[in-house]
Structure 1
Amino acid sequence: MVKDKTSESMDFDQAIHLTGYGKFHFEAFTACAICIISVGFQNGLSAYILPAAQCELDLTSFQLSLLNVCFLVGGALSSFLWGVLADARGRRKILIITHLLNAAVTIICVTNPSVFSIIICRFLNGFLIGAPGSIIFSYLAEFQPPKYRSAIICYSGIFFTSSWLLLPLLAWLILPIDISVTVGSVIKITSWRVFLIILVIPEVVAGFWFMRLPESPKFFLAKGDQRKALAVLRKMFVVNTGRPAKDFPVKSLVREVRVATFEDNLRCRGKTVKNLQEMFGQFKSLFRPPLVFLTLLTTSIMFTNMFGTFGLGWWLPELFVRFERFQALNPNSTVTVKQLALFNTIKPASCKPSFEAAVIRSTIIMGVSSILTNAFSGWLAARVSLRTIPFGTMLVGGTSASLIYWLTASWQNLIIASIFQSAMVTANMTIGSVVVELFPTNVGAMAICLTMCAGRIGAMASNVIFGLLMDQHCEIPIFVVAASVLVGAGLCYFIPSQKGHKGGCADLEVAVISSFDTKM
């Protein structure tokens, strides 16, 4: 029986606890899961469409690499924009707009025969998908009561991993199909274009589903709109409990101390100037005491994580292919990774890519192991300190990366690759959870986007190193990744220790506003 506290003001965490936990949270989690799957599809689809598109479009090696790099550059450049817009205008609105726009861009990519326009589309894909890829964790977390917040973010990582499990299965089913239909004299429909259309479906579903859901109540409270925040909390209460809104015991909320971002002083100015000023104000607040340490720490950890995840991680499927083909040609020979790096596996480009069953099986095993690890980390998150999971998974990831150089068989590669991928993907999700927990709501989305930007820069740097050195000096990028990830593990030790709740975050927010006032 919940004690009636209608005569008291409550803080947000107390109020959201009284909404119960039920249908509303399950619906919000499902919508966010579809969003995360669509983000995973966009991040991983290049590995499957490029072999098919290469023949049709006569792509050079430079153009192939440009498609990947442009996607990452788009994501990095948009990070600050989405962060400030989400903090200023709301998470839900940005999620709806970017999902539907990104789906439209992908459809344009499908119907366009020009290589240059497809490169532009992939840049725009990266630019737009960077929004849900970053702020979805803020949106999801801000509906959760404190004791579930970290665990839910960890569980959400299952769906990012699931997308990388579904991609090879869909590619295996669709890409080998002989499809060649010309509409008019310009539009040509082939298997890889059909594949892209299918991958758009979750984005469209997510975009329209977010229209059903409300804005984060914590966002409204951070903006000083207590009436709207209470309206959302009452809706959650009604959906979860089936009781009328008048039974919700909270009548007023303690307003969250917000980080000043010049918004209140800019109401008479144009929207563009106002948004730029607020972006600058939020960015400055992240690099002032007491947030500067957390900002540098989380961005550095994410840089090292994505340096490994999207460097070595993107090369692992190719390693499976090389092991299988080498052993098919040399069934009685042992092989080292150094030999595989020098082993020429490039075949004439084909519009009918084949997918070896062994490679598909290995990819599925990696995906399943990652899902299980994410699920376990979700259970563990509510029972250990905030830094334990990222520290442990990064330590395991760095150690397993260093072992890859000494592999001599495909089964060894499968075991180490599964450990590495599971650890790194889980670490990636939990680092996002750390940012959500540690930063004040008013700069939370900006902090996540800045962290993701640092990660994408790490991914770009790693891809350049692997592209330049993998075929001739594979030991260099492998050990650079291992060292980088282990450094990231060491940095995780300095994450402030909290157990599944905000803890001293209110004190941090007071310190932030005090710091700002002294500088004004």
Structure 2
Amino acid sequence: MSESRESRESETKLPKIPEQQEDAAAAGAADFETAIDSAGFGMFNILLLVAAVPAAMGTVYETSTMSYILPSAECDLKLSLLDKGILNAITYAGMISSAVMWGYLADTKGRRNLLIHEWSLRRANGLFDGTTWTAASSAHHDGGGHYVSIATLTLPGLAMLILPQTWSLHIWTLSLTSWQIFVAITALPSLLSFVLFFFFPESPKFLMSKGRNQEAMDAFKFIYHLNSRKPKDSFPVYKMLANEVIVPVKKHKEGKSVPTEIKLPIESAEAQDPESQDSKKSSLRSGFTQLRPLFTKPYLGLSLWVYLLNFCVLLGQNTMRLWLPQLFASINEYELLMDGKSESTSICSILEYSVNRTQNQLEAATRNDPDVECHVNITASTYTNNLIVAGAGFVAYMLAGFLVNLVGVKRIMTMGLFIAGCCSIMMYWSNSAISTVAIASLFVTMGSISATSVISASVNLFPTSLRTMIVSLEMMFGRLGSLLGNIFFPALMGLGCVPPFLMISSFMLAGCLMAAFLPLKNKAALK
């Protein structure tokens, strides 16, 4: 009985593809590429790019804002060095725990709906950050890196303007200091994105993949209307859209199941009801099916190699990047304290001073000692060095494509990681603010190019069908490295000057060694 039932279900899921294609062609059906080309390029695309700017800013601010407020909030929140490390790392914990969930929801619920809900709640914690570029990449992905680089420049600029102020804003019973106002302002891009996404339709590609062709047609007409300034009814693809629903079907032979893909007829109830329980289960099974090849031969060893490589690279890159505001704040405070009494600003002297001062103030606050007042000296110059480092990173990103195409992704990745590893250990011998800024700028520049190159390299190592999943898992391991690095760094600071920078250097050099043995051709270009 069950066999006959399966056979009947198979018959309903096995349309005659040639006949279906002939019918579609006769009816003038257009596939996605034809329809999107007919919609043209114009005002809609420009507005979408504009909406992507606050989205990119929100993404950068989510992971970096905390590192800028820690020096200012130290007294108000009674923060130890380890507390600061945990606050830097907590966003990455949210990203890791939700990585798979957001990918699944983006594929089942749609990009637009997910972006709206995610942006409206993202300031709660890092849980909502994992979906940002997963969903937004369906639109315009080419400018994403440029937007992120620009957003990275604006954050230290905002910090210079706001954090040194002695504001105390009273709203009813709530009293806000300058660092709390700074956090509120950095939330505005997310709020703006939340509003803007309401005015955009769902991705027509997603709608067509779910069999919701009428909604997709409405989206195409809306895009066409904005781009051409012509009535929606004059959209060239006026008859129908081709069926682009693809579902897995199993062929039974000798007791074995072989996954294949076919296109369902557009009248199918399953295609028209993507929210059905069967469709959700099918999508979830499809997700696990995509994971399986990465944990079996021949891709198991290579995928683990790539995960570990990105773990090492992002551990070093994001640990140094997120601790630079605290480091520069300590340098500025130390220089003001010395007031020319010390000939050099040794990084070891600064770290020792910072660790001891933080510990003493924390102990005094615990004892409620009235003789010890917690105070931090924050000026605009505190964040000038961060602006310089961000500027160096921006210039590096502009040159990254040219450099990679010139020398090859493998060479630039290997050299970048080697230089970054050397820069980290060179911090030990830095004896002035200028040399520290120069070394930090070179580290962030090389680390940024290397981190981007790792993603590009890994994409070229796997077949197209596995690339989305490999990048998702690779980023998850990279974020795990970022989390652990930001927790271990302050713990090692208590042991002395060398251990924290040695940790970063070790992981970057380990990444350099792993990158050198990647089975990748040097001519592979950065995409």
How does the TM-score come out when normalised to structure 2? 0.71
Cα 1:245–1:331 change in 2 (3 A) is farther
Q: Provide, for residues 349-382 of structure 1, a one-character-per-residue CA deviation record: whole Å limited to 9, x for no partner.
A: 8898543444322111111111122222256678
Q: Which amino acid aligns with 1:397?
A: A
Contact 2:457 2:524 in 1 (8 A): no
- 1:419-434 matched pairs, under 5 angstroms: 419-432=442-455
Quick one: which of 298, 309, 315 aligns to 1:307?
315
1:22 Cα deviation after fit? 4.6
Q: Tell me what 2:187 maps to.
A: 200
- 1:61-72 matched pairs, under 5 angstroms: 63-72=83-92
Q: Provide, for residues 200-232 of structure 1, a one-character-per-residue CA deviation record: whole Å limited to 9, x for no partner.
A: 110011122223334445545655767766776
1:88 aligns with 2:108: yes
Contact 2:159 2:383 in 1 (8 A): no
Cα 1:268–1:196 change in 2 (3 A) is closer
Contact 2:89 2:482 in 1 (8 A): no
Q: Tell me what 2:7 maps to.
A: none
Secondary structure, in 3 states, of the residue corresponding to 1:310? helix
1:39 Cα deviation after fit? 1.5
Which one is further off, 400-409 or 428-437? 428-437
Contact 2:51 2:193 in 1 (8 A): yes
Cα 1:475–1:353 change in 2 (3 A) is closer
- 1:264-343 matched pairs, under 5 angstroms: 269=277, 277=285, 279-288=287-296, 292=300, 295-328=303-336, 329=338, 331-343=341-353
1:483 aligns with 2:472: no
- 1:165-180 matched pairs, under 5 angstroms: 165-175=153-163, 176-180=165-169
Q: Tell me what 1:28 maps to.
A: 48
1:302 Cα deviation after fit? 2.3
Distance in 2 (alpha carbons) for counterparts of 1:305 and 1:405:
20
Distance in 2 (alpha carbons) for counterparts of 1:351 and 1:463:
24
Contact 1:87 1:446 in 2 (8 A): no
Aligned residues with identical type, % of pairs: 25
1:458 Cα deviation after fit? 0.4
1:386 Cα deviation after fit? 6.0
Cα 1:413–1:58 change in 2 (3 A) is closer
What is the Cα-based RMSD across aligned positions, in Å? 4.5
Contact 1:52 1:352 in 2 (8 A): no
- 1:16-55 matched pairs, under 5 angstroms: 22-55=42-75
1:52 Cα deviation after fit? 3.9
Distance in 2 (alpha carbons) for counterparts of 1:462 and 1:198:
28
Secondary structure, in 3 states, of the residue corresponding to 2:501? helix
Q: Which amino acid aligns with 2:129?
A: I
Cα 1:227–1:489 change in 2 (3 A) is farther
Distance in 2 (alpha carbons) for counterparts of 1:441 and 1:223:
21
Q: Tell me what 1:516 maps to.
A: none
- 1:202-217 matched pairs, under 5 angstroms: 202-217=189-204
Distance in 1 (alpha carbons) for counterparts of 2:467 and 2:482:
23
Cα 1:237–1:91 change in 2 (3 A) is same
Q: Tell me what 1:412 maps to.
A: 435
Q: Which amino acid aligns with 1:131?
A: T
1:457 Cα deviation after fit? 0.9
Distance in 1 (alpha carbons) for counterparts of 2:58 and 2:452:
16
* Unaligned 5+ runs, structure 1: 1-5, 106-124, 503-520
Q: Which amino acid aligns with 2:134?
A: I
Q: Tell me what 1:505 maps to.
A: none
Q: Tell me what 1:131 maps to.
A: 131
Distance in 2 (alpha carbons) for counterparts of 1:435 and 1:217:
29
Q: Which fold has the larger relative contact order, with Cα–Cα distance below 8 Å and residues 6 or more apart in sequence?
A: 1
Q: Which amino acid aligns with 1:375?
A: M
1:189 aligns with 2:189: no
Quick one: which of 216, 235, 254 aligns to 1:245?
235
1:467 Cα deviation after fit? 1.7
Which one is further off, 288-297 or 333-342? 288-297
Cα 1:79–1:251 change in 2 (3 A) is closer
Distance in 2 (alpha carbons) for counterparts of 1:65 and 1:452:
20
Contact 1:306 1:456 in 2 (8 A): yes
Cα 1:334–1:353 change in 2 (3 A) is closer
Secondary structure, in 3 states, of the residue corresponding to 1:45? helix
Distance in 2 (alpha carbons) for counterparts of 1:257 and 1:392:
44
Q: Which amino acid aligns with 2:313?
A: N
Cα 1:26–1:301 change in 2 (3 A) is farther
Secondary structure, in 3 states, of the residue corresponding to 1:362? helix
* Unaligned 5+ runs, structure 2: 1-24, 250-258, 262-269, 363-372
Contact 2:318 2:482 in 1 (8 A): yes
Q: Provide, for residues 459-516 of structure 1, a one-character-per-residue CA deviation record: whole Å limited to 9, x for no partner.
A: 12212321221243332332332232233345445375586699xxxxxxxxxxxxxx
